[in-house]
Amino acid sequence: MSVAADRLEGAPALDIDAVRAQFPALHQQVNGKDLVYLDTAASAQRAQCVIDAVSHYDSHDHANVHRGVHALSQRATDAFEGARRSVAQFINAGSESEIVFTRGTTEAINLVAQSYGRSTLKAGDEVLITWMEHHSNIVPWQMVCEQTGATLKVARIDERGQIDMEHFRSLLNERTRVVGVVHISNALGTINPVAQIARLAHEVGAVVVVDGAQATPHMAVDVQALDCDFYALSGHKMYGPTGIGALYGKRALLDAMPPWQGGGDMILAVDFERTLYNEVPYKFEAGTPNISGAIGLAAACDFVRQLGHEAIARHEADLLEYAMTRLAAPDLTVIGTAQHKSGLVSFTLDGIHPHDIGTIVDGEGVAIRTGHHCAMPVMTFFNLPATARASFGVYTRREDIDRLADALDQVREVLG
């Protein structure tokens, strides 16, 4: 198994102590124990540079954007639009106008479903997704299919937690209008072949919507190389603020799409007979945006870029390899063993409910995730109610995995 970039011997190594020093939340005790944070896939801790960027805006530059001629409004607008440029550069969008700020990946996918999907889909059309999708890449398509009469199709996964590409190909046809796929599964860690999926989808004339929430913290994302039509990301997955994310969309598609929400800033002129809409991306950004969040997201992009994707890949590949060995035990089953996998281990312990695992390891100061991870079909496929999940970030150490292993021994002692 590997992370997105194959582990290269020449890849630079992270200075883990220097990295950890940039995350103030890590330096605390929980239940009398030094915190071990292994829930990065749910929300990564915020880097100090992100906290500082948001604090500076809040303290010095807070004003509304695109609306004022006074100095603070101009500074806020410059910072907000600078953040758009940073996100565009981070994922190699062709233009900053292809970046729409949203509340996160969920809102971004809903935007595509309700604007592109609702305006183009009709009875007889098909939307194709996969069994490993997060609920945010399932429910919006169910909703728009109900609204338009289109049909939702689902490609199978296999026992290793990989897309059954033969089945996926068999479901693609001239009726397929949209393909939705997660780049990295939050429940399994599987890295999907998005470029291949996009090529196959485009051969039948479908557009491709990628849930990239789990990918952007761990691997270099080049939306032009992937040739996806839409790509959604979230700030809080990549060491940034909550409540902010972005949607990348190809300019021609965004131009043709109707607005999703109405209000201020998405208009050029309004009277009671009609409204003239603003140009993209602004026609999709109704109302006062999350200005501080966008500034924090830009700082997070800069932080990840400065660490370097190759260094991050090497670090997380080492952690995954170590975890698979260190946690191995006859009573522990890893759920998701794809050939290409990110720094995440979902697992079960024989006879012990994952929620009990999570409670006991929390008592040892170790934070992991338990539950269905907003991916209930994945749990259904593996015939499980839930899993325990340890997910890694740039600040994770081998010692953290050792602490988890010791905490699991405590679980066994209490409940085994």
Tens digits of residue pLDDT in 100-128: 999 999 999 999 999 999 999 999 999 99
Across 291-307, b (16+ Cβ under 10 Å) vs e yields bbbbbbbbbbbbbbeeb
If asked whether residues 283 and 371 sit together in one domain, one would say no
In a domain, 7, yes or no: no
User: Are 287 and 331 in a shared domain?
Assistant: no
Please check whether residue 299 is in contact with residue 49, taking contact to mean a CB–CB distance below 8 angstroms. Answer: yes
pLDDT tens-digit readout, 269-278: 998 989 998 9
Q: Residue 2: which pLDDT band, with cuts at 50, 70 and 90?
A: very low
Q: What is the pLDDT of residue 68?
A: 84
DSSP alpha helices (H): ranges in 156-260? 165-171, 194-203, 223-226, 251-256
Q: Does 38 fall in a domain?
A: no
- Report residue 246 as tokens: 């972005």
- In this predicted model, what pLDDT tens digit does every residue of 339-393 receive, in sequence order? 999 999 999 999 999 999 999 999 999 999 999 999 999 999 999 999 999 999 9
- Confidence band of 12 (pLDDT split at 50, 70, 90): confident
pLDDT value at residue 155: 98
**Active site (annotated) includes residue 49:** no
| Same domain? 263 vs 400 | no
d(CA 26, CA 104): 24
Higher-pLDDT residue of 63, 9:
63
Count how many domains the chain has: 2
- The residue out of 282, 305, 328 marking a domain boundary is 305
Asked whether residue 143 is assigned to any structural domain, the reply reads yes
- The answer to whether residues 266 and 321 belong to one domain is no
315, part of any domain: yes
Kindly state the average pLDDT of the residues 17-39.
98
Average pLDDT, the chain: 96
pLDDT at residue 7 is higher than 80: no
pLDDT band for position 5 (cuts 50, 70, 90): very low
Q: Residue 146's pLDDT is what? A: 98
Of 138, 131, 192, 155, which is closest to residue 342 (Cα–Cα)? Answer: 192
Give me the residues paired with residue 371 across strands. 387
Closest C-alpha to 21, from 49, 62, 58: 49
pLDDT tier, 9 (very low <50, low <70, confident <90, very high otherwise):
low
Do both 388 and 343 map to the same domain?
yes
Torsion 203-204-207-209 (CA) sign = negative
- Do 262 and 177 share a structural domain? yes
Asked whether residue 291 is assigned to any structural domain, the reply reads: yes
239-267 residue pLDDT tens: 999 999 999 999 999 999 999 999 988 98
Is residue 77 very low, low, confident or very high in pLDDT (cuts 50, 70, 90)?
Answer: very high
pLDDT over 90, % of the chain: 94
**353 lies in the same domain as 398:** yes
User: Cα(336)–Cα(346) distance, rounded to whole angstroms?
Assistant: 7
Position 271 in a domain: yes
Domain of 375 in residue numbering reads as: 16-30+308-415
CATH code, 313 = 3.90.1150.10
Catalytic residue from among 49, 228, 301, 374: 374
User: pTM of this prediction?
Assistant: 0.96
Query: Is the pLDDT confidence value at 3 over 90?
Result: no
| Beta strands 207-211 and 366-367, pairing class | unpaired
User: Which run of H or E residues covers position 213?
Assistant: none
Q: Residues 217, 265: one domain? A: yes
Question: End of a domain among 276, 305, 334?
Answer: 305
Buried b (16+ CB within 10 A) or exposed e, 128-148: bbbbbbbebbbbbbeebbeeb
| Residue 178 placed within a domain | yes
Same domain, yes or no: 319 and 285? no
Which is nearest to 218 in space by CA: 391, 369, 13, 401? 391
- Domain containing residue 165: CATH number: 3.40.640.10
For residue range 90-105, list pLDDT tens digits in order.
Answer: 999 999 999 999 999 9
**Which residue, of 273, 305, 337, is where some domain finishes?**
305
- Calculate the alpha carbon distances from 25 to 30, 46, 324 in Å: 11, 8, 27
Residues 23 and 164 placed together within one structural domain of the fold = no
Look at residue 8 and tell me whether its pLDDT is greater than 50.
no
pLDDT tens digits for 231-240?
Answer: 999 999 999 9
On whether both 317 and 279 belong to a single domain, the answer is: no
Helix (H) or strand (E) holding 346: strand 344-349
pLDDT confidence of residue 363: 97
- Tell me, yes or no, whether 298 and 189 share the same domain: yes
pLDDT beyond 60 at 138: yes
The answer to whether residues 121 and 175 touch, using CB atoms and an 8 Å cutoff, is no
In a domain, 3, yes or no: no
Which distant-in-sequence residues (6+ apart) come within 8 Å of 232 by Cβ?
Answer: 102, 105, 108, 109, 112, 209, 210, 211, 212, 213, 245, 246, 247, 248
